[in-house]
Structure 1
């Protein structure tokens, strides 16, 4: 993907994701997600577009990892969220597991589940989710495997390479269907920018990946030899 063209499309007036300009911090945040996707993503434009759309919403447009309520420090976040059940201090470290990162990771169990992707014990060091590279990996890996979705479906289930997008239920990969229409608009804009910038993979690669998924599907039955 040609990143120069990608950013030029995002800056178009009709794009309506950021307006006609991007701050250095926004570009840095987007670059972090693009880089993390190259190492931890599935190569699909739809997945990348939805990751960027999620970050656009969850960070209030900043695109870099943030604390919930956009608090500048842990003490302020705890004070603002003192009534939230998921933000209560928990043993053994006394940390509060409120939303952090580009995806706003909440609940102690989710910090634990994302530690392997982060490469660090997030239960012991939850603020590590505020590091751009780590936060981006958490976002992408969580979308892929559906760990935050009660149905266990990853983003490819709702946004297939071939077929109609289910953008309402795609939001379930992060937060039920909260604000799904707003995020769907961001998704379409990011996907347009990705495609105009050359896309991420060839049609041949997509066909090969789709065929592999079908072969591995439990309902697949090979044709008998003649």
Structure 2
């Protein structure tokens, strides 16, 4: 994949003002995570990038909900939103401290991971205990890995349907169900088209390394072959 071509394409669409260093860092993290945890398909990568673009407000780096600069300000923001939407809203439920560490599991990362249960389910992929340390979702490596794995395995989908279920059926709008039902689904589908064009312009996102001729596996010699070779070496005149 020629990443320079990807950025050149994005500069003509979603990033017309130019791509900042922070945005580059966020995109690079997703590309790297896709190389190790993705499925090698351009449209999967494009949808992951489109999701991050939407959830981070175009920043492409992991953020707290409401783009808060600290845990305290994020808690204040979700409480304010909860008060606005009412005590029966989903926000009101996850705005409350919960779990063994009394954390608030508001949206964090490039996918805006919410709810204690989801932090728990994603800990294995993160490589850290996200229940104990939810702010680890602000780590770009952790965030990108959870984004890719979560989209693919459908862990945030009530029907346990991953991204390929929707993309293989050509339904980019419905693919939003892998993250947050159909919230802003058509808008994200629009972002997806721009990212897909950029990914396709850059080439295969996960090329399979070709084995050089010198590394081609050879048949392991048996003990009789080894013995024969030894005899020939010791008695060259008796090789026939």
TM-score band w.r.t. shorter chain: 0.7 to 0.9
Matched, 1:180 2:185: yes
Give the aligned partner of residue 3 of structure 1: 3
Runs of at least 4 residues off by over 4 Å: none
Give the aligned partner of residue 152 of structure 1: 160
Give the aligned partner of residue 139 of structure 2: 131
- Paired residue for 1:62, among 59, 62, 69? 59
Q: Deviations over 1:41-82 (max 9, x none)?
A: 111111100000000000000000000000000000001112
The alignment of Structure 1 onto Structure 2 pairs a total of residues equal to: 196
Distance 1:23 1:121 in 2: 31
Q: Shift of the alpha carbon at 1:85? A: 1.4
Q: Deviations over 1:16-65 (max 9, x none)?
A: x2224111000000000000100111111111000000000000000000
SS in structure 1 of the partner of residue 158 of structure 2: coil
Distance 1:73 1:52 in 2: 25
Give the aligned partner of residue 108 of structure 1: 116
TM-score, length basis structure 2: 0.80
Q: Shift of the alpha carbon at 1:91? A: 2.8
TM-score, length basis structure 1: 0.84
Give the aligned partner of residue 119 of structure 1: 127
SS in structure 2 of the partner of residue 5 of structure 1: helix
Give the aligned partner of residue 167 of structure 1: 172
Distance 1:94 1:201 in 2: 40
Q: Deviations over 1:113-166 (max 9, x none)?
A: 000000000000000000000000010000000000011110011112xxx520
SS in structure 2 of the partner of residue 48 of structure 1: helix
- Structure possessing the higher radius of gyration over alpha carbons: 2
Kept after mapping to 1: 8 A contact 2:35/2:205 = no
SS in structure 2 of the partner of residue 117 of structure 1: helix
Distance 1:27 1:58 in 2: 16
What is the alpha-carbon root mean square deviation over aligned residues?
1.1
Kept after mapping to 2: 8 A contact 1:155/1:170 = yes
Kept after mapping to 1: 8 A contact 2:42/2:200 = yes
